[in-house]
Structure 1
Amino acid sequence: MDLLSSFPMLASFPFLLFLIWCAHLVFFKARSTPREPPCAGFAAPKCYPLVGNLPHFINNCDRFLEWTTELLVASPTGTVTVAPFVFTANPSNVEHMLKANFDNYPKGGDVVSALHDFLGRGIFISNGEQWKAQRRAASFEFNTKSLRAFVFDRVRHEAADRLVPLLRQASRDGQVLDLQELFDRFAFDNIISLVFDQDADCLRRGNKEGERFFRAFHKAAHLSVDRMKLPHPLVWKLKRWLDTEDERRLRESTAVVHEFVDKYVRLKRSGGCTSSGGDLLSRFAEDGTRTDEFLRDFLLSVVLAGSDTTPAAITWFFYVLSSKPDVVDHIREELRLVRARRCEPGGEAFTLEELREMNYLHAAIAESLRLHPAVPLLPRVCAADDEMPDGTRVRRGWTVMYNSYAMGRAEVIWGKDCGEYKPERWLEVGVFQARSAFQYPVFHAGPRMCLGKEMAVIQMKAITASILEGFDMELAEQRGKHDLSISMRMDGGLPMRFRERRGR
């Protein structure tokens, strides 16, 4: 039984003290807010006596993304200060914090502490020299042709031998499938293959150990993120000390995850793990100076990065495609033309080179990510007083958060048609043209830019090509509301019906 629910006074009194303390903290931080020159026609949220900006955060805790986006769209500078937070959708500010003054904006201690039990000191939450050492090693491996070929081989196998047969059976049975869950499982199978060269077989639910790891990993990840949604770290630390139900579930799930990873690290060290040698564990275990704990923490960060953001991104892409038959037709025509250029026509999966040739598909994916970024909000903590390029002054200890969701809807960046879904905006003479990562930071930017960016796009292309070439689809229930967790997921999943295409 939950200790907090058993003793209401124990539950309410510390939390009441915390709220009083938090209001006091926010008030004094708000009092130190530097006065910014007023912008005509725009009023920042009012700072209240005694409680400062705390009421704004309480009132908008369930719509934080919408609230910050509304503020940023209304702001002439694309930046709003609600002390102790600064929200920005200004590309110059994004470049300043992610590149020009990178060392002054590390990942915050509250984020690191909330995720530490689960991820240890992995690259996802580390800073300074610890992060640089992991980044250098990861960058070298992720840029090798052999690793890219290894990843693509697994993606192609998963799509052709598992995903397509599953959709074909659902078509015959008239079954509605949750695409978001399918993509979760597809991505998890591929990232476990990349990291450990093991077949989790989650898409078909054919491996008990893989299924147990899948469920425990996602539970631990989401419960860890739930810690960050609480108003202050003292709350979850108190709950951990009291061993509340959610903290107990997090501890148990984390134990399962660590047990799985430690098992394969030990097997690899002892020579008892059979693999092709192309996986990340094999590559990193070759360096005998790296401890087992280092390997576990690093590999867990890779699993997290590869198993959450890509499924979220492609779920939103298929949601967009469900109401854009003209875009689907364009993609299918591109697939047809690519197949027609083959010396030996056939129905087998597309090659890596063929997927790279698909400029319109790339543009359609990029446009979906512009409007539905997998990670819409990214926070950093200011280490020393600073001034942003647009004149916004930031105090030491404040959180600066860029909003890529708002940036994708910014007229100043994308023009008057910024609210429209138009893949053509990414094409010049039919060739895909990338935009500055500081205008389009969906894969982050600067030194922490996503190492798996190319792999993610290739995976999304391979999945889309496999599905659209073989199936028509129909949204079974209306969707479109987002659910913020590690990434921007779709609330309620994405229920779809599929019908196998004949004589295409």
Structure 2
Amino acid sequence: MHSTVCFCFFTFAIILALLSLSLYSLRSLQAPLCNCDVCASYLSSRWSSQFDNLCDWYTHLLQNSPTGTIHVHVLRNTITANPGNVEHILRARFDNYPKGKPFNAILGDLLGRGIFNADGESWLFQRKMARLELGSVSVRSYAFDIVRGEIETRLVPLLTSRMDCGAVDLQDVFRRFSFDSICKFSFGVDPGCLQLSLPISSFALAFDLASRLSAERAAHVSHVVWKAKRLLNVGSERRLRDAVKLVNALAEEVIRERRRLGSFATRNDLLSRFMGTVDDDVYLRDIVISFLLAGRDTVASALTGFFWLLSRNPEVERLIREESELVMDGSTGDVLASYEQMQRMHYLHAAVHESMRLFPPVQFDSKFASADDVLPDGTVVGGGTRVTYHPYAMGRMERIWGPDCLKFQPERWLQDGVFRPESLYKYPVFQAGPRACLGKEMAVVEMKSVALALVRRFDVRVVGTAQGARFSPGLTATMNGGLPVIVRERGASSRPPL
């Protein structure tokens, strides 16, 4: 027995040593083979001496590229901020740029065969089903009622209880808010994350960890790294496996209970509606978890960026308040706007879009070329190459948005006071083409509902706005250290700071 244990331990040690040696060889060989400054800077993290975030370094490189396209050879990644290329990838040659097997592998443990990780017939089936359900008036009304209820009964009371009590992490509050909302909408289940006691949800923690560790897989120069760790069940891959196991267990429990209760047709949550079409419970889990990921993290990220920008631009806050008072006929600050009233608030709509131009919830998105291709700017793409379009960088390109591209200026979206949308290929925050986000309208309505309720009721001021935004690695933009804010009742901002 003792010798068997020693042998296993010795074998394990050899495998790790060989893995370390192969990784060292990979890193040492690829940079000389490439022999370019971009790859050397990436491999050594030299870029971090000048830039707070990887996305800012990519933005710098793309701004200085004549075509708005760059190559990171060691990642086999072509990155573009060129609207013509974006349209080519997302629409004109859509069939040549699927998510691809590498991406499927990276997110497969968490998302399985869900819509955001699927291609081909599986993606098309889910797309048609989602379009049918999300386009339903009853489903949209159900989603709006959930958001209003969460704002009235939890979000506003929570922030009211935290007034004049020091800083509160608004990013954490938004993540709790959106998690409660999307769980109700997707599963018909209330995790209660935004209760006044701010309880810790094992489901939310496991979901966050699984999302972060899945995203970290993509940062490795070679997939050999994380695949070997997964095979050996060590380190981050072991933690990912445990997190996904918990997410699966809770999702499966909800699905089993819903099956037991029956009466799917009378409920409006996505799980119940999809159960009328899908019999495979594992497939159901994959579909609903994908919507959970999209609806939770993107909305929380977008709201965090919005209030970070608003705190730096009080004039925008003032104009939002003036517009709301005009449309709502002087209603008091604790009255929520109706859907019809928000439709008439063009400046609010513009401000939300402008904030996502500068802080898109998903900073970049990748596809994998199935076959050789040439992008409109002349860039040659080899089959199997990762091709990434970069909304974060695109929002900071003078050639796209003009010399004031770094300013938070909602007026750029207005023409004679009326909101004027931009091309989705210039503003691919919600993707574009056949994969354009089906939940865009509901997400924007949720953002506007929250933003308006807080702006009308409170003065929210970010602590330390002199510093630039720093982001943590993840599938969506998450501010490192959260978003600490001071919350006060409107009109009380003249009081001395705590």
Question: What TM-score, normalized to structure 2?
Answer: 0.89
Aligned amino acid, residue 486 of structure 1: L
Q: For residue 424 of structure 1, what is the amino acid of its counterpart?
A: E
- Cross-structure match for 1:93: 85
CA–CA separation in structure 2 for the residues paired with 1:501 and 1:276: 42
- The aligned counterpart of 1:488 is 477
Counterpart selection for 2:339 from 352, 356, 378: 352
**3-state DSSP class of the match of 1:199?**
coil
1:399 equivalenced with 2:386 (yes/no)? yes
1:212 aligns with 2:202: yes
CA contact (8 A) 2:39 2:72 kept: no
Q: State the secondary structure of the residue aligned to 1:229.
A: coil
Q: Within the alignment, does 1:114 sit opposite 2:106 as a pair?
A: yes
Deviations 1:34-55 (A, max 9, x none): xxxxxxxxxxxx548xxxx742
Alpha-carbon distance in 1 for matches of 2:68, 2:451: 34
The aligned amino acid for 2:93 is N
How far residue 291 of structure 1 moved from its aligned partner, in angstroms, is 0.8
Asked if the contact 1:110/1:228 (under 8 Å) is kept, the reply is: no
CA distance in 1, matches of 2:321, 2:261: 47
Q: For residue 422 of structure 2, give the secondary structure of its aligned residue in structure 1.
A: coil
Find the aligned partners of 2:63 and 2:88 in 1 and give their Cα distance. 20
Q: Distance in 2 between matches of 1:245 and 1:56?
A: 26
Residues 103, 117 of structure 2: 8 Å contact kept: yes
Determine if the alignment matches structure 1 residue 238 to structure 2 residue 243.
no
Cα displacement (A) at 1:296: 0.5
For 1:405-428, what per-residue CA distance to the aligned partner results, in whole angstroms no more than 9, with x for missing partners?
111111121112112211100001
Q: Work out the CA distance in 1 between the residues paired with 2:103 and 2:255.
A: 27
Q: Are residue 183 (structure 1) and residue 188 (structure 2) matched? A: no
Query: Could you tell me how far 1:246 is from its partner in structure 2?
Result: 2.1
CA distance 1:346–1:71, shift in 2 (3 Å): closer
- 1:276 deviates by 5.6
8 A Cα contact 1:356 1:458, kept in partner: no
The amino acid across from 2:193 in the alignment is C
Name the CA distance, whole Å, in 2 between partners of 1:410 and 1:267. 50
Given that 1:377 and 1:402 are in contact with CA atoms closer than 8 Å, whether structure 2 keeps it comes out as: yes
How far 1:236 moved relative to its partner?
A: 0.9
Deviations 1:404-455 (A, max 9, x none): 1111111121112112211100001111111000000011111111111111
SS at match of 2:201: helix
* 1:55 corresponds to: 40
> Secondary structure of 2:115's partner?
coil
Instruction: Give 1:323's aligned residue.
Output: 312
Cα distance 1:477–1:412, how it changes in 2: closer, same or farther (>3 A)?
Answer: closer
Deviation at 1:270, TM superposition (A): 2.4
Give 1:221 shift. Answer: 1.2
Q: Distance in 2 between matches of 1:396 and 1:65?
A: 25
Deviations 1:106-130 (Å, cap 9, x if unpaired)? 1132221121111111111111111
Range with bigger deviation, 74-83 or 306-315:
74-83
Partner of 1:14: 19
Choose which of 348, 365, 377 in structure 2 pairs with 1:361. 348
Distance in 2 between residues matched to 1:463 and 1:187, nearest whole Å: 10
Report the equivalent of 1:270: 260
What is the distance in 2 between the residues matched to 1:348 and 1:324? Answer: 24
1:460 maps to which of 439, 447, 451 = 447
Distance 1:21 1:474, change over 3 A: closer
TM-score, reference length from structure 1 = 0.88
Q: CA deviation at 1:205?
A: 6.7
- The letter of the residue matching 1:214 is A
- Mapped partners of 1:9, 1:353: distance in 2: 66
Distance (whole Å) between structure 1 residues aligned to residue 91 and residue 28 of structure 2: 33
Map of 1:36 onto structure 2: none
Change (3 A) 1:267 1:205: farther
The two structures, once aligned, show a CA RMSD in angstroms of: 2.6
8 Å CA contact retained: 2:265, 2:276: no
* Distance apart, 1:10 and its partner CA: 5.2
In structure 2, the CA distance between the partners of 1:166 and 1:207, relative to structure 1 (3 Å rule), is closer
